[in-house]
Every structure is written in C-alpha cells, then in structure tokens.
Amino acid sequence: MAYQALYRKFRPDRFEDVRGQDIIVTTLKNQIKADRIGHAYLFTGTRGTGKTTVAKLFAKAVNCTDRKEDGSPCGECPSCRAIQAGASMNVVEIDAASNNGVDNIREIRDEVSYQPTDARFRVYIIDEVHMLSAGAFNALLKTLEEPPSYVMFILATTEINKIPATILSRCQRYDFHRMTIDTMVMRMREICDQEDIDVEDRALQYIARCGNGSMRDSLSLLDQCASFHIGQQLTYDKALQVLGAVDTSVYSRFLDSILEKNLSGALRILDDVLMQGRDLSAFITDFIWYLRNLLLISAQDQNMEDVIDVSSETLEVMKREAETVSTEVLMRFIRVLSTLQGDVRFATEKRVLTEIAIIRLMQPAMESDLGSLKQRIEDLEGKIENGVPMNPAFFDRAAGAAATGSAAAEKYEKIPLPDALPEDVEQVAKNWRKIYNQLDGLQKTAIKNAHPTVDGDQLVIVFDEQDSTQYSVMTAKDPDTGVEKDREALQTAINNVIGKNVPFKLILQQEKRPFNTVYADLSELIQFDDIETIDETSGETGV
C-alpha cells in the first residue's frame, strides 16, 4: 500500500478526535442530538484548522443510521463507509476554486430537486467558497435561502471578507480559530507514539510554532522531519536542520552586533547562516519572533515562561539581553523587519534587501518616524555625556582614520573629562538615582544598600558589614584581564552623569555606625525618588 501522509492518515473520523475547536464541535453535536439541524452552514478560519474535516464529520453524522449517544457517526454503517471512501452520492464535495462559474451552481440547483438515496440529507460541501464569481453567488442565493428539507449546504472559506453579506445572512457562521502550540504538540505526540517516531518534546514545540496555528502544516513538517531522520531520534537540532532554521543563540549575537552598530559582524553572521543552507525568510521570521519575546520580557519580566515558550535557562539569558535595549528600539526593529519580511517574499535579491534593512536598523537617521527620532536623540545624549564632540566633520575624519588604521586616529580620541572639584562630589549624592539607573541588574543589586559619602574631598562608597557579599562583587577582578569590571562600570556611570572624572574609594564599614561619625554625611542630598528612600534615624536605605 502506498505511503499516506500523516495529516491524511490521522484525519479525525470522530468528533472527539477533533482538537482545538471544542465550542464548534459541541454545538454541532447538540444540534444533531436535538434534531435542530440547519440548512446552511459557513465554516471560516485559517488553513489547517479543521473546516473540511468537521464538514465531512457533520455530513456523516446527519446521515448515519446508527449514531452514538453524543451525536458522533458510528463509522460502520453503509452510509458512513461510503462517505469515508468518497463514494457516496449524498455528499457532494465541490472545489469552488476550479468550479466557480454560474453553470456549476446551476447544476447544483438542478440536482437538489432529486431526493437522496438511502440517506436523510443530500449535503453539498463547497470548499474555498470565496472563489465563486459574483454571478455564481447570485445564482446560489435563492437555493441557499430556501432549499428542500433534505438538502444541506456547508460552505468553507479562508477569506470571510470576500463573502457577500447576502450569503452570510443565510448561513450559520462558525469561526475556526488557530490552534495553540500545546494542543498541536499533544496531538503530534499521540501520532508519534502510534507511528513509533522517537522525537524530543522541544522538537515538537518548534515544529508546532512553525505550523503557525495550523494542524495540517504542523503534521506536514513533522512528516518531513521524521522522513529525513528515519530510525533516529528527531532532536531539536535535527528539526532546525531540516526546516532551515537556526538556534536562538545566533539571534542573540545578531542583535548584539546591530546594537553595537557592528555592520561587518552582523553581515558575517548573516553570511554564516546562508552558507549553512538556512532559509533567509525563516531566519527573518524567527528573528522577529526573538525580538517579540524580548519586548514581552521588557514589559513584564515575571512568569513569562508560558507566554514566550522557552526554557528557563534561555529565559534568563533573554532577560539579561532585554535590559540592554529599550522597548522603543525593539518596536522599531520589529516594524522594519516586518516590512522586510513582506518584501523578500517576492524579491529575487533577498540578501541585498536584508543587508539594506540591517543598515537601516543601525542608522535610525535614515528614518523620520517618532521612534527613530527618539533613538537618535538618545544616541546624541549619550555622546554628550561621554564627552564626544558633536562636529560632523570631526566624526567623518575620525571614522576615516580609524577605518584605514592610520596613526592619525589617535588625535581623534574622546576628549578627556576634567577632574572633579570638591563641590562636584556632592553632585554624586544629588544624582545618585541617575547613576543607579545606568547600571545593569546585577550591579544595581550590588550597590542597592551602599552610601556615597565624603572623606575630606574624596568620594567614598560605603558598604555596611552585612553587605560584604555586594562589596566583594564590586571589587571582584576578572580572572582573564585582572580588571574590576563592576567597579569600572560604576566609575563610568558617575563620570557620565556628573560630566567630570570623579574618582572614588569602596569601603566596607566594619561597625554599624551612623555615617557622620566616620565620614561627612551626604544622606540628605541623595535623590532616590521612586527607587529608594532614606531612613533618617538609622542611615539605612530601603526599597
């Protein structure tokens, strides 16, 4: 016997096997049990959601001579077997994409005058009904409104907007929704168990996501992946290989290159993806999905495992990634890439369009929308805070010198910040909230309870004895470079906010005493606003 595709072999032949459309199935079964069967039904929804399957099941059920108590067809009577084999004269399936003329509908009008043989109803299932011509719709109107009592119409369409209102008003409308990933994974797991296909749950999750809510598409992709690795376990990596996708870590490195405006690095990653034989459209789609996940994490970083459908380890990595990019930037990236996704579908030079889009992502000056303007302003503010001169000619010469590796590039280095004056040290306390907000999550936690104070004219950051762990974090040296990275990050944040070079010392206070008995007290100057408050009696901070 010839091989049969999974979506055909496991097409439901009972109502209880239909997944993801519980409300529709329950309504139809109740109509059958109560003998309240209508004369015209309209099934609408995206591809692969079960419209034609439910239509055939409904046609079998209304003509079944030995229905079950819940209204499902028995599947054993002559009528059920004939309908299942496609040999029944009482169930007529019509493809409106190829039979969309007035003459085709006139044939139906002539046929409905004949009663069904050995069945209660003559059922017409018209698939892709939106493809009918305007004349064909008009010819169908009268018959659809007042057919003989033994005739029933089931219309199926993926484009409900193309159905005339006169047709809609004559039908009971049922909307078939996209299936959830969990529903499709559960169904595919049942099929894999029956077919003895060894597959990882993670692979099924990815295949279901690629199915985009369509059970038929998901089963077709599963069939394709299983056929490529017959007799082997279908792992997540093998599914990526067959479907032309890449691992999540690639998108993280790709995004980092774009944020750093490292064009050569981004193009190198793109080249590696294409050289591995990956599909460019799939890469763009999955990268948009990755940015979407980062956007959701930025909006709310708790209990996101179920929403973005990733492992807890990947979620932690993505949380750290989300802290490095604003929601406005993510939304602009998604908008640009969504436009690219539509363009590459019909383009011959897909790679060129993709490279142009990457350049647009790195250069918001190429766009004039509000999000791009806001990002340009933020970039300028950052350059001003870092002491970079705003003369365009300066940047042109500096970029040219750096690109050619010229020794002249040294004279285009950033202008060094002036040293801080004693009164500037107090500005650190006044702007402590701004300094705090420039650090990443771990660094914020480390200095959360630290206090800026003054020892003579020098800035001192004091940690209480119980905060020795946080003090150790801030003073820890990188094993490779020997640099105190977290301390340098705090130094950079202070210099950026104050606009001057403000050196400081980190002190672990051994005794719990008010600060003014050891150093000058700056607690009244500290501005925490909505982040932290100061307990005036103890000198401690709290959230």
List the beta bridge partners of residue 24.
none
The reported pLDDT for the residue numbered 55 is 92
The whole-number mean pLDDT for each consecutive block of 10 residues of the chain, a chain of 543 residues, reads 79 85 91 88 90 90 84 84 83 86 86 82 90 89 85 91 90 90 89 89 85 86 86 83 73 88 89 82 86 82 59 72 83 89 85 89 70 66 59 46 47 46 72 82 80 76 80 80 82 84 80 42 50 40 39
CATH number of the structural domain 181-243: 1.10.8.60
Task: Classify domain 248-362 at the CATH topology level.
Answer: Zinc Finger, Delta Prime; domain 3 (1.20.272)
Which residues make Cβ contacts (< 8 Å) with residue 454, sequence separation at least 6? 425, 426, 460, 519, 520, 522
Query: Same CATH fold, 422-542 and 8-176?
Result: no
Q: Fill in the amino acid letter for 371.
A: G
Between CA 441 and CA 435 the distance in angstroms is 13
Q: Is 206 exposed, middle or buried (0-12, 13-18, 19+ CB in 10 A)?
A: buried
Signed CA dihedral, 71, 77, 78, 82: sign only: positive
Beta strands 458-463 and 451-455, pairing class: antiparallel
The reported pLDDT for the residue numbered 175 is 92
Cβ 482 vs Cβ 439: under 8 Å: no
**Six-digit token pair at 391?**
């003369």
Between CA 50 and CA 176 the distance in angstroms is 7
Residue spans per domain, the chain = 8-176, 181-243, 248-362, 422-542
pTM greater than the 0.85 cutoff: no
Cβ 240 vs Cβ 247: under 8 Å: yes
Residue 18 DSSP SS3? coil
φ and ψ of 451, to 5 deg: -125, 125
Q: Helix, strand, coil shares of the chain as percentages rounded to 5? A: 55, 10, 35
The reported pLDDT for the residue numbered 172 is 92
The reported pLDDT for the residue numbered 313 is 64
The reported pLDDT for the residue numbered 401 is 47
Estimate the crossing angle of helix 51-63 against helix 78-85, to 10 degrees: 150
Q: Fill in the amino acid letter for 198.
A: D
Cβ 245 vs Cβ 251: under 8 Å: no
The reported pLDDT for the residue numbered 532 is 41
Between CA 335 and CA 370 the distance in angstroms is 13
Start-end of H helices in 345-440: 350-362, 370-385, 392-404, 422-430, 432-437
Q: Out of 3.30.300, 3.40.50, 2.60.40, 2.20.200, select the CATH number for domain 422-542.
A: 3.30.300
Cβ 492 vs Cβ 386: under 8 Å: no
Give the residue among 381, 350, 376 at the shortest CA–CA distance from 365: 376
Confirm or reject CATH 1.10.1060.10 for domain 8-176, answering yes or no: no
DSSP 45-86: ESTTSSHHHHHHHHHHHHH-SS--TTS---S-SHHHHHHHHT
